[in-house]
A and B are shown apart, each in its own frame.
Chain A
């Protein structure tokens, strides 16, 4: 079975400081991993994805994530937070050979202070 744990339900940073959103996964298979972002009252947008190529993945809006198999982690980072980054972020795992199954983490709400 696969599962995703987002270690922080809320993260608060000041504008211009680094962002770290933590995610650990559990999967019996080689996973595909994603980060999605959801702005208030909006749908979900894909930030970045890992699909067994480079372990450091760059996404949109300056975000990146590093796949660490030994730590079963896929943390999301950004060097400098912007006010527009305030949103909810979801770490997601998809089994490569299991059709359409996406398993979401519980989400991390990122707040950015001026």
Chain B
């Protein structure tokens, strides 16, 4: 099992560019989430999904879109990148009956 995988590991964008951060899990987990990590603020929930076709907003959803067409994949889209979106992004998954979330290795995004 690969667990939770994220691509790319690093990305530099210019303000206004768009991109998609990929996340995939092979554990057949129903729940998937995206977090961003900023110094001194821990991780904050951006969007989450409780199953294919179902998504909802977390604490900091503005500027991000998600979709969940399959159980395995949960991409995060930045439509028009801003410097405030410079951060490390983590994807996570867990089963509906499990309290433990499994995290991917992260994507470090810089917006200039």
Task: Tell me if B99 and A100 are in contact (CB < 8 A).
Answer: no
Please tell me if the beta carbons of A9 and B90 are within 8 angstroms of each other in the complex: no
Question: Which residues of A66-106 are within 8 A (CB) of B?
Answer: 90, 94, 99-106
Of the listed stretches B18-26, B41-49, B79-87, chain A binds B41-49
The answer to whether A99 and B31 touch across the interface, beta carbons within 8 angstroms, is yes
One of A90, A94, A99 near B99 (C-beta < 8 A): A94
Chain B residues closer than 8 Å to A104, beta-carbon distance: 35, 42-44
Q: Does B101 sit at the interface, judged by CB under 8 A?
A: yes
Contact with A along B90-110 (1 / 0, CB 8 A): 101010000111011110000
Q: How far is the CA of A106 from the CA of B42 in the complex (A)?
A: 4
If A44-B103, A46-B100 touch, whether A9 touches B43 (CB-CB below 8 Å) is no
Distance in angstroms from B57 CB to nearest chain A CB is 11
* Given A42-B105, A44-B90, A106-B40, CB of A101 within 8 Å of CB of B45: yes
Contact A49 B90 (CB under 8 A): no
Cβ–Cβ contact B90 & A102, under 8 A: no
B3-30: contact bitstring with A at CB < 8 Å (1 yes, 0 no)?
0000000000000000000000000000
A32, B99: Cβ atoms under 8 Å? yes
A interface SS class: strand
Q: Does B111 contact A (CB under 8 A)?
A: no
Q: Which residues in B have some Cβ–Cβ distance to A below 8 Å?
A: 31, 33, 35, 40-45, 48-50, 56, 58, 90, 92, 94, 99-101, 103-106
CB distance A102 to B100 under 8 Å? no
Q: Output the least CB separation between A72 and chain B (Å).
A: 18
Do B103 and A99 have beta carbons less than 8 Å apart? no
The smallest C-beta distance from B46 to any residue of chain A, in angstroms, reads: 12
A sample of 19 more A-B contacts (CB under 8 A), given A32-B99, A101-B58, A104-B35, is A42-B105, A43-B90, A43-B106, A46-B101, A90-B42, A99-B31, A100-B49, A100-B50, A101-B48, A102-B35, A102-B43, A102-B45, A102-B92, A102-B101, A104-B43, A104-B44, A105-B42, A106-B42, A107-B40
Chain A's nearest CB lies how many Å from the CB of B27? 14
Q: Which chain A residues lie closer than 8 Å to B105 at the CB level?
A: 42-43
